[in-house]
């Protein structure tokens, strides 16, 4: 088929439709963008954060690598090479003040790691000085930064420097870009591999982080440690013998007096800094959490932990999240149910009263919306507490004994009462708008057919109001699941929700990974319930209005 202008009809149609689609897309584009930025991206970030664990391998890349060879099921402390790698990693991390972040991260899994890393970082300089001092005694020229710069500079393609730069950038994302002002001599780098690596680390940090001229600055202790370690290597000693570059004589001074250098073991040095470094449990924790992605947060969020033989339940006295999830769901159901019970008659009245009275009632229903959540909840506090208005009235009326006043808040009852009040409009409004569309003649018809008031209501009116109940219930339930201010204020200990724990981990313990895992589970539960609801009730059966 051809259109009037000779183009195939399908092509013309497609073009016309495409224009329509583009226009439609342009109209929703601002909203789409808004939703993506404020909703999709944060949720994606949250999901990512709940499994992300690169901090360990980024902060301690070489130690993480060395840990691969350590058998965590043995109760043995790792060997010297691991501690050597740990030294260089931690030295860098301490200079960049990243070690405490790692300590905080690992402290979520193993109590005490926080101070272990903090105190170790503070005292790590002392270890290096054990090497620096004798080296400088033997070869005084190496006290001077300019000597070092001359020694390390030369001809080369800076492969090592770039490799070290990328390690830095892993630790502190993209902070080390720019010209370091150093061309590493390939010859020296081959001869003194550890020294060159440590010097590169220092040069990158000094030039790009501190913004100083590396040619004039003295390198940090780790460089001397690297040199000391290199000098222990027979190949290095041989290479120095045949080396004739800058400051060759200083290096030769050192090789001549190797016996003057300390015989320091890193394992012992770390044990001196903190005994806990010899504790295999610390290393088990580090190894378990060394992969880039972890299920640890999710396990924690369901009261589990990774033990030596896989995932296991936490001890009874630390289990809380499953209980809170169940409580949150259960109490949200109770709140939803009480909203239905209280809201249904009100909605029915609203739908059946003359317009003017209905408007007044509607204002009363909406009134809670116009007061701040905090004010409303605090008002409930005044009403519900033991010396509060409700108890006073009940005592005054003689329904309640003065000595046994009702405990209406700081427990689940308080949460249910206050949240039912707050969420009631979300039940009434959809119910009302659905009931408004049910003609009163249905009830009359049912009665004329012989149904009692109850049968007429139950068999005829109620089924038609079910979509309103469905819509209201979904709204109330999902809102209730996420509430935390009200439970926090009136919930005491038995009326708090999982959201309170999430808020705590976001703002107080700063364990955002765990908060993200808890949030993801909550999201998954809501989606699952939504799916179940769709299967059982059918989402088509939800109406927000006529």
Partner 1 sequence: MLDAALDQSFVTFDRVQKSYDGENLVVKDLNLSMPKGEFLTMLGPSGSGKTTCLMMLAGFETATHGEILLDGKPINNIPPHKRGIGMVFQNYALFPHMTVAENLSFPLEVRKMDKATREAKVKRALDMVQMGAFGGRRPAQLSGGQQQRIALARALVFEPELVLMDEPLGALDKQLREHMQFEITRLAHDLGITTVYVTHDQTEALTMSDRVAVFEDGRIQQLAPPDTLYEEPENSFVAQFIGENNTLEGVVTQIKGPDLCEVKLDGGEVIDAKPVNVANVGDRTRVSIRPERVEMNKDRLQEGAHTLRAEVLEFIYMGDTFRSRLRVAGNDNFVVKTRNAPDQLRLTPGTQVDIGWLPQDCRALDA
Partner 2 sequence: MRKLHIVSAVSTLGLMAGLAHAGGHMASDMTLVSWGGAYQQSQINAYTDPYVAMNSGVTVTWDESSAEAVAKLRAMNEAGNITWDVVDVVAADALRLCDEGLAMEIDANDQLAAAPDGTSAEDDFGDLLVGDCFIPQIVYSTTFGYRTDMVPAGAEAPNDICDVFDLETYPGMRALEKRPINNVEWALLCDGVAKADVYDVLATEEGQEQALAKLDTIKDSVIWWSAGADTPQLLADGEIFMGSTYNGRLFAAIEEQGQPIGMMWDAQVFDLDGWIIPEGLSDERKARALDFVYFATDTQRLADQAKYISYGPARLSSAPLVGQHASLGIDMAPHMPTDPNNAANTFLYNYEFWADYRDDIDAKFQAWLAQ
Q: Please, which residue, 83 or 512, has the CB nearer to partner 2?
A: 512
Q: Does 445 bind partner 1 (CB under 8 A)?
A: yes
Residue 233: name its binding partner from partner 1, partner 2, none (Cβ under 5 to 8 Å by kind).
Answer: none
Nearer to partner 2, 121 or 468 (CB): 121
Within 13 Å, how many C-alpha atoms sit on residue 153's CB side? 13
Query: Which region among 2-10, 152-160, 174-182, 520-528 touches partner 2 (by CB under 8 A)?
Result: 174-182
* Angstrom distance (rounded) from CA 346 to CA 359: 12
Q: Contact between 404 and partner 2 (CB under 8 A)?
A: no
Left, alpha or beta for 212 (phi > 0: left; psi -120 to 50: alpha)? beta
| Burial environment of residue 470 by CB neighbours within 10 A (0 to 12, 13 to 18, 19 or more) | buried
Instruction: Tell me the C-alpha to C-alpha distance, in Å, between residue 221 and each of 92, 127, 133, 226, 246.
Output: 11, 8, 10, 9, 21
Q: Is 452 in the site for partner 1 (CB under 8 A)?
A: yes
Q: Is residue 293 within 8 Å of residue 51, measured between CB atoms?
A: yes
Is the CB of 119 or the CB of 464 nearer to partner 1?
A: 464
Binding mask of the shown chain, residues 334 to 353, with x at each position contacting partner 2 by CB under 8 A: --------------------
- Out of 448, 494, 507, 509, point to the residue binding partner 1 (CB under 8 A): 448
Considering only residues 144 to 173 of the shown chain, the ones binding partner 2 according to CB under 8 A are: 172-173
User: Residue 516 and residue 177: Cα distance in Å, rounded?
Assistant: 31
Closer residue to partner 2 (CB): 103 or 472 = 103
Nearer to partner 1, 18 or 444 (CB): 444
Number of Cβ within 10 Å of residue 86's Cβ equals 24
Please report whether residue 441 would count as binding partner 1 according to CB under 8 A.
Answer: yes
Tell me: does residue 42 bind partner 2 (CB under 8 A).
no
Rg, C-alpha atoms of the chain: 35
3-class state of residue 313 by DSSP: strand
* CA distance linking residue 38 with residue 32, whole number of Å: 10
Site string for partner 1, 392-431 (x = CB under 8 A): ----------------------------------------
118 binds partner 2 (CB under 8 A): yes
Residues in contact with partner 2, counted by CB under 8 A, come to a total of 52
Q: Is 74 left (phi over 0), alpha (psi -120 to 50) or beta?
A: beta
Strand partners, 313: 304
Under the binding rule (CB under 8 A), the answer on residue 511 touching partner 2 is yes
Which residues in 100-159 contact partner 1 (CB under 8 A)? none
Q: Could you write out the three-class secondary structure of 50-92?
A: CCECHHHHHHCHHHHHHHCCCCCCCCCCCCHHHHHHHHHHHHH
Binding flag, residue 459, partner 1 (CB under 8 A): yes
Beta bridge partners of residue 310, listed in sequence order: 307
Of positions 330, 507, 531, 534, contacts partner 2 by CB under 8 A: 507
The binder of 463, among partner 2, partner 1, none, by C-beta within 5 to 8 A per type, is: partner 1
- Residue 450 near partner 1 by CB under 8 A: yes
The residue count for binding partner 1 (CB under 8 A) is: 19
Nearby residues of 464 by Cβ (< 8 Å), 6 or more positions away: 434, 438, 442
**Helices 321-352/462-482 angle, 10° precision:** 140
- Footprint on this chain of partner 2 (rule: CB under 8 A): 96-98, 100-101, 103-104, 107-108, 111-115, 118, 172-176, 178, 208-213, 317-320, 323-324, 327, 385-388, 410, 488, 492-494, 496, 501, 506-512
């Amino acid at each position: 088929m051809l259109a009037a202008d000779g183009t195939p009809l399908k092509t013309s149609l497609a073009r016309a439709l495409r224009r329509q689609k583009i226009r439609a897309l342009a109209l929703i584009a601002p909203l789409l963008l808004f939703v993506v930025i404020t909703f999709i991206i944060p949720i994606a970030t949250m999901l990512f954060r709940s499994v992300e664990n690169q901090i360990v391998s980024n902060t301690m890349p070489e130690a993480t690598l060395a840990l691969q060879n350590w058998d965590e099921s043995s109760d043995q402390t790792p060997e010297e090479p691991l501690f050597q790698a740990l030294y260089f990693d931690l030295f860098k991390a301490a200079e960049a003040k990243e070690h405490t972040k790692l300590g905080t991260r690992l402290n979520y899994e193993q109590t005490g790691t926080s101070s272990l890393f903090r105190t170790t970082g503070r005292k790590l300089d002392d270890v290096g000085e054990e090497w620096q001092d004798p080296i400088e005694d033997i070869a005084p020229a190496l006290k001077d930064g300019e000597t070092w710069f001359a020694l390390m500079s030369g001809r080369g393609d800076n492969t090592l420097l770039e490799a070290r730069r990328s390690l830095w950038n892993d630790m502190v994302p993209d902070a080390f870009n720019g010209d370091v002002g150093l061309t590493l001599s390939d010859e020296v780098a081959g001869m003194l591999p550890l020294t060159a690596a440590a010097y590169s680390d220092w040069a990158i940090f000094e030039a790009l982080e501190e913004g100083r001229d590396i040619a004039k600055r003295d390198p940090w202790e780790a460089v001397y440690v690297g040199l000391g370690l290199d000098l222990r290597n027979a190949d290095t000693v041989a290479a120095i013998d045949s080396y004739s570059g800058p400051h060759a004589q200083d290096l030769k001074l050192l090789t001549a007096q190797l016996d003057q250098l300390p015989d320091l073991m890193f394992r012992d040095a770390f044990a001196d800094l903190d005994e806990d470094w010899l504790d295999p449990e610390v290393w088990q924790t580090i190894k378990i959490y060394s992969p880039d992605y972890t299920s640890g947060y999710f396990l924690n969020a369901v009261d589990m932990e990774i033990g030596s033989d896989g995932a296991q339940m936490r001890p009874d006295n630390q289990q809380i999240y499953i209980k809170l999830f169940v409580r949150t769901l259960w109490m949200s159901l109770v709140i939803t149910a009480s909203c239905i019970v209280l809201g249904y008659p009100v909605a029915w009245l609203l739908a059946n009263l003359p317009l003017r009275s209905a408007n007044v009632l509607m204002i009363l229903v909406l009134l809670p919306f116009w007061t701040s959540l905090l004010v409303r909840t605090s008002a409930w506090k005044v009403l519900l507490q033991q010396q509060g208005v409700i108890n006073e009235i009940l005592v005054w009326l003689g329904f309640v004994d003065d000595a046994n006043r009702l405990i209406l808040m700081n427990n689940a009852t308080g949460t249910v009462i206050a949240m039912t009040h707050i969420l009631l409009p979300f039940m009434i409004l959809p119910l009302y708008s659905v009931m408004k569309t049910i003609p009163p003649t249905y009830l009359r018809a049912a009665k004329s057919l012989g149904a009692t008031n109850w049968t007429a209501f139950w068999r005829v009116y109620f089924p038609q109001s079910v979509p309103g109940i469905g819509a209201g219930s979904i709204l109330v339930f999902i809102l209730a699941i996420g509430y935390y201010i009200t439970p926090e204020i009136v919930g005491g200990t038995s009326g708090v929700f999982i959201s309170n724990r999430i808020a705590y981990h976001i703002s107080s313990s700063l364990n955002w990974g765990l908060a993200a895992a808890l949030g993801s589970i909550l999201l998954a539960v809501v989606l699952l319930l939504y799916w179940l609801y769709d299967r059982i009730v059918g989402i088509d059966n939800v109406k927000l209005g006529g």
